[in-house]
Amino acid sequence: MGTIERANRAVVVLIVALACAALVSAPSLQKIEASRMSMACLYSIVAYAEQPGEAQRTLERALDEVDRIDRLMSHYREDSPLSRINREAARGPVHVDRELFDFISLALKYGAESDGAFDVTVGPLMRAWGFFRGEGRFPTGAELTRARSATGLAHVILDPSAHTIRFDREGVEIDLGGIAKGYAVDRAVTLLIQGGIRSALVSAGGSTIYALGQPPDRPHWEVAIQDPLDSLRVAFEVPLKNRALSISGVSEKFFEIDGVRYSHIMDPRTGRPVDGVLSVIVRAPDGTAGDAIDNVLFVQGVERGRAYLRRHRGVDATFLLPDANGWKRVEIP
């Protein structure tokens, strides 16, 4: 079992223990908040604590940890270890520190078990479709052919004994954007727990959320889900306690040509944006798993996704699909 998997399991064990503890009395708790731009989105924490001064410092340490993960895993920052891998791994093995190596290994494992529906080498396709630092465009046939030739899990070769990563051809790159935000949320939650916080809601831009405990005098946190066709409306609310919620949706980034909407969520196997799904909402024990699985389900669709979830205990999902009335809701328990 890798370091990341052990860390995630440790988070879950701690959270289960907290859920069994006696609730603190509501009058002694004070609300505190902190937020920061990191990993290209707004990370925010709302918490309740008896000692707001120390708790505020704990929230800031949790956000510092998010920044650390951004410096480690960002493919936008030229000085990040991940960017170094992308620059050099086609020329030979690149030594990688244990945390990043284990995390990439875990991401590749999600890709393998989903038959490539989740693929961290999707970067060339994102560039071809104009979604890397852009709002999207339709690629030429030649651009798409080049991008597809550099996409695929088989292009990444890991050496666990040496902690090295190499690519088998030029043009391959790793993009951890589909899973790193969830890991950052998990790490933030771990630091909150270590700092004595028992009630908090941690959000990464609203797309990955973890609910620790519950607010005073309430059985759980209520998380609003955005209407996939109208960003100003709430579709419904989801109760959440000691669980993560991750959302993939076409409204986040897309473009339209001749009335057809092309979203930033790619099917790595076809090289094209996924259609026929508006949003997927996943409830999971931790944010890392939730982030990977919501991408898998978005690509696989309802029926294949139903079979996939049988292998993941403690995970359930909601699909929002287009229909004649706008959208319909399909639950996979």
Of residues 159 and 11, which shows the higher confidence score? 159
Of residues 297 and 28, which shows the higher confidence score? 297
Non-local CB neighbours of 161 within 8 Å, separated by 6+ positions: none
Contact at 8 Å (CB) between 262 and 255?
Answer: yes
**Full DSSP string of 223-285:** EEEEETTEEEEEEEEEEESSEEEEEEETTSSEEEETTEEEES-EETTTTEE--S-SEEEEEES
pLDDT digits (tens, 9 = 90+) for 195-224: 999 999 999 999 999 999 999 999 999 999
Which pLDDT score is estimated for 6? 46
Which pLDDT score is estimated for 115? 95
Write down all domains in the chain, each with its CATH number in brackets: 81-167 (1.10.3980.10)
Which pLDDT score is estimated for 2? 55
Q: How confident is the model at residue 14 (pLDDT cuts 50, 70, 90)?
A: very low
Q: Using alpha carbons, list the distances in angstroms from residue 284 to 119, 217, 241, 262.
A: 20, 24, 11, 28
pLDDT digits (tens, 9 = 90+) for 155-165: 999 999 999 99
Q: Residue 312: name the closest of 246, 237, 250 by CA.
A: 246
Q: What is the mean pLDDT of the chain?
A: 91
* Average pLDDT estimate for 51-58: 96
Distance CA 110, CA 105 (A): 9
Non-local CB neighbours of 168 within 8 Å, separated by 6+ positions: 90, 154, 155, 157
Least confident of 75-79, 202-206, 237-241, 243-247: 75-79
Residue 13 pLDDT greater than 60, yes or no: no
Q: How confident is the model at residue 136 (pLDDT cuts 50, 70, 90)?
A: confident
Residue 284 pLDDT greater than 50, yes or no: yes
Residue 98 pLDDT greater than 60, yes or no: yes
Distance CA 281, CA 48 (A): 26
Which pLDDT score is estimated for 254? 77
Q: How confident is the model at residue 45 (pLDDT cuts 50, 70, 90)?
A: very high
Which pLDDT score is estimated for 23? 40
In the chain, the percentage of residues whose pLDDT exceeds 90 is 81
| Identity of the amino acid at 146 | R
Q: How confident is the model at residue 56 (pLDDT cuts 50, 70, 90)?
A: very high
Dihedral pair phi/psi, residue 84, rounded to 5°: -65, -40
Of residues 186 and 23, which shows the higher confidence score? 186
